[in-house]
Chains A and B, each alone.
Chain A
Amino acid sequence: MKKLFIYNLIFFFSLGSIIAQQTPAPKQSQDIVIVGATAHLGNGEVIENSLIYFKDGKLSTIAKAQLVKMDTSGKRVIDATGKHVYPGFIALNASLGLSEIDAVRATRDFDEVGQMIPHIRSLIAYNAESQVVESMRPNGVLQGEIAPRGGTISGSASVMQFDAWNWEDAAIKVDHGIHMNWPGAFTRGRWWLGEDAGLRPDKNYPKRVQAIKDFFMKASQYLNGPKSTKNIPYEATAGLFNGAQKLFIHVEGTKEITDAINTAKSVGINDIVVVNGTGAEKVADLLVKNNIPVVIDRAHRIPDNIDDDYDLPFRNAKILMDAGIMVSIGMQGQMERMNTRNLPFYAGTYAAYGVPKEKAVQMITGNAAKILGIDSFTGTLEAGKDATLFISEGDALDMRSNIVTHAFIQGREVSLETHQTKLWKRYLKKVKSK
């Protein structure tokens, strides 16, 4: 063990993270029944004293325990009385596995050169053995959308589950969406050139919007044409026009959100997700009418403006939900990869400031799956869906009680050990032996 650790340290940077972390669990071979837990279904519903039965990686029965008569012989029974079961939490707009140590440039793989690069795919750079990724599981974060960053059209994102040998195994939906950064409509004067430093409409904004529009128009024309010479970026956008892919637009400001939606629709892209969406509540009608959800930022941030209510970021989810918008939570921000494990607590904070608890769970399970287009097979505890779930000692949205005892991905019981728990156990033993 110790040797392995030192070996790990020495080679971590010279050879990349070649040392396998926790070995991915094998396929579910035995049927499993979890009894007695409070089951949070992820669709806003909750079942007290539940029975959850899954086999071959799929959920089979979720019901009140009293209502089910089940022969448990040959099945593994987990008594979870007093505990809670949740669908595996889903982190949206995450960049896990695309960088290991923020300050070490060699490990950073999330931002490619170029402005309009939909063909760039996060999928293949995803490090399934990242120590940061494995640290998600003990908190119940079992799946996530891995998105590239930077540029105007940043590239294609894919959805991963967090217990895999490699990216191919990890992917549960490949290239499900393309991420795009919408320009800001306002700019600050270049004070260093003697201009007024005040905010003013950005003269280049219409040009930037037109460039985006042009790109998609040309892509659309190309896709409908003979394609005699292949155009890789245009090819990558095909799914946006035929409904196979969603366009995730990172945008803030009411004017910008309105422009972004109208532009996308005008070129024939109808499956849109707004990311960040500051001010979205003011254009709620437009969003609701077009079935556009908003992936809001993490709750743990400070207000944008000095005069804002101190709790304005905390109330963000409630404000949008009250306006009728479907909401989930994105991970982008400071130290976002390591902080992704705090996803349950972002939801908990939104719950503390107005969102009903089960709705808060739904934000990071059912809603998140719908937004990613994976709701047909995961995201909620419903028969027929993947048995991707976990058992927590208590309320998983609260730090005190988010104590995960079991976690399953596609029915496979995944290890809750990590680089961090190994160090913990090793050094706790050292301290205790003294």
Chain B
Amino acid sequence: MKNNLFLLFLFFTSLGFAQDYFPINTEVKTSKNTTVVFENATIYVNPSEVIKKGSMVIKDGKVVAIGRSVKAPAGAKKVDLSGKTVYPSFIDIYSDFGIKKPARTRGGRSPQYDAQRKGYYWNDHIRPETDPTTSFKFDTKKAKQLVNAGFGVVNTHMHDGIVRGNGMLVSLNTASNDAFRMINNRSAQYLSFSKSVKSRQNYPTSRMGAMALLRQMYLDADWYAQGNAKNKDLSLEALNANKNLVQIFDAGSHLDVVRADKVGDEFGIQYTIVGSGLEYERVADIKATGATMIVPINFRKAYDVSNPMLTEQISVNDMRRWNQEPSNLAVLAKNGIEFALTIHDLKSVAAFHKNLKKAIKYGLDKTKALEALTTIPAKILGETTIGNLNVGSHANFIVTSGDIFDSKTTLYENWVQGDRHVVNDMNIKDINGTYTFNTNGKDFELTVSGKGAKQRGSLKSGGKTVKSKFAFKDNWVHLTINDGGQFARIVAQMSPNGMSGQLYANDGSTTNWMATMKKDSKKAAKKKSTKQTTPTVLPVSFPNIGMGNFVQPKQQTILIKNTTVWTSEADGILENTDVLLKDGKIAKIGKNLKARRALVIDGKGKHLTAGIIDEHSHIATSAVNESGHNSTAEVTIEDVVNPDDINIYRNLAGGVTSIQILHGSANPIGGRSAIIKLKWGENADNLIYKNSPKFIKFALGENVKQSNWGDNQTIRFPQTRMGVEQVYKDYFQRAKEYEALKTSGKPFRKDIELETLSEILKKERFISCHSYVQSEINMLMKVAESFDFNINTFTHILEGYKVADKMAKHGVGGSTFSDWWAYKYEVKDAIPFNAAIMKEAGVTVAINSDDREMSRRLNQEAAKTIKYGGVSELEAWKMVTINPAKLLHIDDRTGSIKVGKDADVVLWSGHPMSIYSKAEKTIIDGTVYFDVEEDKKKRAALKKEKAQLVKMMLNEKLNGGKVQAPRRKMLKQFTCETEGTIIN
């Protein structure tokens, strides 16, 4: 029924879509004249080529001629488009049109580790074999909405899985059928970081797991292509077959855009990347990917800030985004980033034009906007016959009353493949104006306003409103008047000076009726405030949150005078000493130092130390655990470093300069670490140490055997400490054999996981192992020794004191909590004297946090070793500076105040381990990243900015703008046991 109604809506269709080589058994075979010529229009052949008063001829759904003086072929139907503008119809390059996402597969409570499909890739979330045509069903209702918005073609695919298979390019011609609508059924290949809902297979559980999986998949595809596999793998075959297609990656946040691009680059693939609409927050990083972007145009509503108690909960980041995101497209264009638009995440297609106009108001160039809807998507897909009106292209175009981006413009028609779809009837006259008439000796004034079929009239007499009903249908005026019980009905048509027709009075009499249009009243009726105010866009900070930097701090020459220097070296503590920082290094230590153009800081009464190093942190990352397998050596935290985490700033305020972001403890063999400096405001890449020492997290105990994961997690090997040993033996043996095969010159399947493990065997990568009880600590040392390498660090190592002698002999360091215990059974014997005993035994000891709160007070945690076990102050301080530096193999660069080392120092208000002391300046590579005085200024500026944003939002609401309920940004706490991925 709905379809029938819709067909009525179509004024005419040019011909039945009979495929010309198909037999016909119902009638004689006919062909109809399909040639139409459009004349006198302003025609955009493409966004930058405009023909004024041009003509265009279309035939059989294609453009056959276009230009200023085109001869209409004999017999062509002529359409006069004087005063009208013609554009190529729009393309939505990233759509799920007609392809329904399947329902999520439900299953038992027990986790699923293996793939459920056979003959395909080992991971169910890799589905390159997905063929969109098998699930495509043309959605007429949605097509109508899209056509009304100006779209002629959509590029759709199954939005499910990490690799999603092909997409298809479909025209939205509702009068046709799929045989003609399908322009390309292998338009591109699609990828994302999200798992398929069709399978419950556990791996990957994190962003970094998805990245590792993609890498291994590309390696496996290559290996398969060389004919090395013994089995059939339809997924890899499809992947190889899709190799030359455009690869479109749905990434999202700016961090994920960079992550996707990184994976692509490693395999020589330049993805076209779907972003989030917030690219402006790190536009330089987006530009550096070199990717063409596909950007949504979905703007959030202002928050309802009328309740001050709730308003406090909204982060300035969310408030700013409301203000800033309409400028995203303008920022992309300004930075020379090529982008196409998509409306796939819009709840209603109708919002598209409103948002687009907003983006233009915020500075988006109109040509760029048009390109983003026509030529760029066509270019991405390698299609030459859509998005333009060149001869030979599809006759996909829209007819408008003028500039498509002007709010007064009407979109009349959208022609798709030569078929006309009427959006607003362009033959309806514009009768706006004021008309006067006299009836029964009384003067009336009729004012008509509005557009097209929606033109409305209001009637007045002697300045007072008269009850009336006005309609304008098929260019006929229908006016019913109720003037104090006196009824009259008027039916009229437009005349050169106004309207003329008949008046049907109360008594049934009919008289001729005329109304005269007031001079200039047409313009007056249309005249509206056209004053365009340029919107205020607040500046972006790095990261774009309350404590972000509007200007990145610069490296300086800094001279700190007359201070107490804790060297963390053999010199111990130097009183009344000067330290010069230059070119990012510690340049001089001494008395009465001088330096030109240096920032001189009076350090009198203060203490200068090396920056604190946290051996065990989980801040500044978007994921911690990849728990889908019992070994995940293939994943790396470096893939998911999150430079936007406020905890970076909070840690700086606690004097921390370097951290190791460790993988969690969900599995015996975890992922690789990221060792970073807390350079607040920089991007992820700039945080990570250059030539970083290679680390990997291992874990023992209750977490890896899933003891506290609930009663359903009982099938993954290992479930006991006995099994843990065998996991290690198995993997190291395999790594050993892998390495042997690799060096033999015979063909081998490159395996990222085993590559990583063989780095350990080759002593190129170090293990930091989460550990609690003595039995397993001892075991891992023995396993390592049997494979001829050493464990580098036992982290947590709460029963280290019980095997401290063995640790010293093995040469492993211990990085422990100061005083945590009793939170699970395996820490029942954890004692705060652990650090002191391990130190006594000759183990290199560090104090770590594993906690975003404790990490900002590691100076206090170090002080606890003085209380518990009587460690000397100098030694205690080393446990958070040079000792963790040694454990991380960065002690040649940082961790102490020594000439030549990185200028990573902290100026404390007093004794660094006093509970009453505060970090006043935290300096990394000679750049001040935290300054207690700057912090005060930031607070004041933030308060001011929030007040400004509240004012703007109140205005928005009072002016009738739509608002949304306040929301509070919750930060997930990351510990060893955290699952999943944070999406910014």
B-chain residues with CB within 8 Å of residue A306 when the two chains form the complex: 315, 317, 545-546, 646, 969, 971
Checking A198, A338, A351 against B916 with a beta-carbon cut-off of 8 angstroms, the contacting residue is: A351
In the complex, 13 of the A-B residue pairs with CB atoms within 8 angstroms, ordered by the A residue number, are A102-B822, A131-B828, A189-B965, A255-B309, A301-B853, A305-B313, A306-B646, A310-B649, A335-B822, A399-B913, A428-B833, A428-B869, A431-B841
Q: Give Cα A427–Cα B838 distance, bound, in whole angstroms.
A: 10
Also in contact, A302 and B316, with CB within 8 A (given A307-B942, A400-B913, A434-B805)? no
New contact pairs (19) apart from A103-B702, A399-B913, CB-CB < 8 Å: A131-B822, A186-B310, A300-B854, A301-B853, A305-B313, A305-B969, A306-B646, A310-B650, A349-B860, A349-B915, A351-B916, A352-B915, A399-B864, A399-B866, A399-B867, A421-B833, A423-B829, A424-B831, A427-B802
| Main DSSP-derived SS at the B contact region | loop
Q: Is A15 an interface residue (CB 8 A)?
A: no
A-chain residues with CB within 8 Å of residue B935 when the two chains form the complex: 309-310
Checking B802, B824, B863, B915 against A103 with a beta-carbon cut-off of 8 angstroms, the contacting residue is: B824
Q: Give Cα A12–Cα B968 distance, bound, in whole angstroms.
A: 44
A-chain residues with CB within 8 Å of residue B824 when the two chains form the complex: 101-104
Checking B649, B863, B873, B967 against A199 with a beta-carbon cut-off of 8 angstroms, the contacting residue is: B967
Q: Give Cα A427–Cα B799 distance, bound, in whole angstroms.
A: 10
- Taking CB as reference atom, which chain A residue is nearest B939? A309
- Taking CB as reference atom, which chain A residue is nearest B311? A199
A307-334 residues with Cβ-Cβ distance < 8 A to B are: 307, 309-311
Q: Is B787 an interface residue (CB 8 A)?
A: no
Are A428 and B840 in touch, CB under 8 angstroms?
Answer: yes
A-chain residues with CB within 8 Å of residue B854 when the two chains form the complex: 300
Q: Is B821 an interface residue (CB 8 A)?
A: yes
How does the 8 Å CB contact mask read for B794-833 relative to A, with 1 for contact and 0 for none? 0000000110110000000000000111111100110111
Also in contact, A310 and B653, with CB within 8 A (given A352-B918, A424-B837)? yes
B-chain residues with CB within 8 Å of residue A12 when the two chains form the complex: 828
How does the 8 Å CB contact mask read for A131-161 relative to B, with 1 for contact and 0 for none? 1100000000000000000000000000000
B944-984 residues with Cβ-Cβ distance < 8 A to A are: 946, 964-969, 971
Are A101 and B822 in touch, CB under 8 angstroms?
Answer: yes
Q: Is A200 an interface residue (CB 8 A)?
A: yes
Q: Give Cα A60–Cα B551 distance, bound, in whole angstroms.
A: 64
Query: What's the minimum C-beta distance from B242 to chain A, rounded to whole angstroms?
Result: 35
Also in contact, A431 and B822, with CB within 8 A (given A186-B310, A255-B309)? no
- Taking CB as reference atom, which chain A residue is nearest B943? A307
Checking A100, A307, A345, A430 against B915 with a beta-carbon cut-off of 8 angstroms, the contacting residue is: A345
Q: Give Cα A424–Cα B866 distance, bound, in whole angstroms.
A: 14
B833-866 residues with Cβ-Cβ distance < 8 A to A are: 833, 836-837, 840-841, 852-854, 856-857, 860, 863-864, 866
- Taking CB as reference atom, which chain A residue is nearest B916? A352
Are B823 and A199 in touch, CB under 8 angstroms?
Answer: no
Q: Is B914 an interface residue (CB 8 A)?
A: yes
Are B823 and A102 in touch, CB under 8 angstroms?
Answer: yes
Q: Is B547 an interface residue (CB 8 A)?
A: yes
Tell me the count of chain A residues lying within 8 A, CB to CB, of chain B. Answer: 58
Are B965 and A399 in touch, CB under 8 angstroms?
Answer: no
Are A199 and B837 in touch, CB under 8 angstroms?
Answer: no
Q: Is B708 an interface residue (CB 8 A)?
A: yes
Also in contact, A432 and B971, with CB within 8 A (given A337-B822, A427-B801)? no
Q: Is A188 an interface residue (CB 8 A)?
A: yes
- Taking CB as reference atom, which chain B residue is nearest A191? B967
Q: Give Cα A407–Cα B836 distance, bound, in whole angstroms.
A: 24
How does the 8 Å CB contact mask read for A373-412 relative to B, with 1 for contact and 0 for none? 0000000000000000000000001111111000000000
Across the A-B interface, the 9 shortest Cβ-Cβ residue pairs: A198-B965, A307-B546, A103-B824, A424-B833, A399-B863, A348-B915, A420-B831, A338-B822, A198-B967
Checking A201, A400, A420 against B832 with a beta-carbon cut-off of 8 angstroms, the contacting residue is: A420
- Taking CB as reference atom, which chain B residue is nearest A337? B822
How does the 8 Å CB contact mask read for A223-245 relative to B, with 1 for contact and 0 for none? 00000000000000000000000
Q: Give Cα A131–Cα B971 distance, bound, in whole angstroms.
A: 34
Are B833 and A403 in touch, CB under 8 angstroms?
Answer: no
A-chain residues with CB within 8 Å of residue B46 when the two chains form the complex: none
Q: Is A254 an interface residue (CB 8 A)?
A: yes
Q: Is A24 an interface residue (CB 8 A)?
A: no
Q: Is A196 an interface residue (CB 8 A)?
A: yes
Q: Is A197 an interface residue (CB 8 A)?
A: yes
Q: Is A183 an interface residue (CB 8 A)?
A: no
Q: Give Cα A342–Cα B863 distance, bound, in whole angstroms.
A: 13
Q: Number of contact residues on B: which range applies?
A: 35 or more
Q: Is B576 an interface residue (CB 8 A)?
A: no
A-chain residues with CB within 8 Å of residue B719 when the two chains form the complex: none
Query: What's the minimum C-beta distance from A414 to chain B, rounded to whole angstroms?
Result: 18
Query: What's the minimum C-beta distance from A286 to chain B, rounded to whole angstroms?
Result: 15
Q: Is B917 an interface residue (CB 8 A)?
A: yes
- Taking CB as reference atom, which chain A residue is nearest B653? A310
- Taking CB as reference atom, which chain B residue is nearest A253? B309
Q: Give Cα A101–Cα B917 distance, bound, in whole angstroms.
A: 34
B-chain residues with CB within 8 Å of residue A397 when the two chains form the complex: 915
Are A302 and B547 in touch, CB under 8 angstroms?
Answer: no
Are A348 and B916 in touch, CB under 8 angstroms?
Answer: yes
Also in contact, A307 and B914, with CB within 8 A (given A12-B828, A188-B967, A398-B863)? no
Checking B828, B868, B964 against A198 with a beta-carbon cut-off of 8 angstroms, the contacting residue is: B964
A-chain residues with CB within 8 Å of residue B801 when the two chains form the complex: 423-424, 427, 431
Query: What's the minimum C-beta distance from A420 to chain B, rounded to whole angstroms?
Result: 4
Also in contact, A103 and B873, with CB within 8 A (given A400-B863, A423-B831)? no
A-chain residues with CB within 8 Å of residue B708 when the two chains form the complex: 103
Query: What's the minimum C-beta distance from A324 to chain B, rounded to whole angstroms?
Result: 22
Q: Give Cα A307–Cα B650 distance, bound, in whole angstroms.
A: 11
Also in contact, A431 and B837, with CB within 8 A (given A132-B822, A399-B860)? yes
Are A400 and B914 in touch, CB under 8 angstroms?
Answer: yes
A-chain residues with CB within 8 Å of residue B857 when the two chains form the complex: 300, 349
Q: Give Cα A352–Cα B918 distance, bound, in whole angstroms.
A: 8
Query: What's the minimum C-beta distance from B882 to chain A, rounded to whole angstroms?
Result: 19
- Taking CB as reference atom, which chain B residue is nearest A357? B916
A-chain residues with CB within 8 Å of residue B939 when the two chains form the complex: 309
Q: Give Cα A160–Cα B804 distance, bound, in whole angstroms.
A: 38
B300-341 residues with Cβ-Cβ distance < 8 A to A are: 303, 307, 309-310, 312-313, 315-317
Query: What's the minimum C-beta distance from A291 to chain B, rounded to whole angstroms?
Result: 25
Query: What's the minimum C-beta distance from B852 to chain A, rounded to whole angstroms?
Result: 6
B-chain residues with CB within 8 Å of residue A305 when the two chains form the complex: 312-313, 315, 968-969
Q: Give Cα A398–Cα B801 distance, bound, in whole angstroms.
A: 25
- Taking CB as reference atom, which chain B residue is nearest A303? B650
B-chain residues with CB within 8 Å of residue A310 when the two chains form the complex: 547, 649-650, 653, 856, 935
B-chain residues with CB within 8 Å of residue A341 when the two chains form the complex: 819
B914-932 residues with Cβ-Cβ distance < 8 A to A are: 914-918
Also in contact, A427 and B867, with CB within 8 A (given A189-B965, A306-B546)? no
Query: What's the minimum C-beta distance from B508 to chain A, rounded to whole angstroms?
Result: 57
Also in contact, A335 and B831, with CB within 8 A (given A398-B916, A400-B873)? no
Query: What's the minimum C-beta distance from A338 to chain B, rounded to whole angstroms?
Result: 4
Checking B653, B856, B869 against A424 with a beta-carbon cut-off of 8 angstroms, the contacting residue is: B869
Also in contact, A427 and B823, with CB within 8 A (given A301-B853, A400-B914)? no
- Taking CB as reference atom, which chain A residue is nearest B855? A302
- Taking CB as reference atom, which chain A residue is nearest B910? A352
Are A431 and B840 in touch, CB under 8 angstroms?
Answer: yes
Are B837 and A427 in touch, CB under 8 angstroms?
Answer: yes
Are B822 and A352 in touch, CB under 8 angstroms?
Answer: no
Query: What's the minimum C-beta distance from B360 to chain A, rounded to whole angstroms?
Result: 28
B-chain residues with CB within 8 Å of residue A196 when the two chains form the complex: 964-965
How does the 8 Å CB contact mask read for A194-219 relative to B, with 1 for contact and 0 for none? 00111111000000000000000000
Q: Give Cα A345–Cα B854 distance, bound, in whole angstroms.
A: 13
Query: What's the minimum C-beta distance from B967 to chain A, rounded to whole angstroms?
Result: 4
Q: Give Cα A354–Cα B812 distance, bound, in whole angstroms.
A: 42
B-chain residues with CB within 8 Å of residue A201 when the two chains form the complex: 307
How does the 8 Å CB contact mask read for A346-364 relative to B, with 1 for contact and 0 for none? 0011011000000000000
Q: Give Cα A431–Cα B814 distance, bound, in whole angstroms.
A: 15
Q: Give Cα A405–Cα B825 distance, bound, in whole angstroms.
A: 30
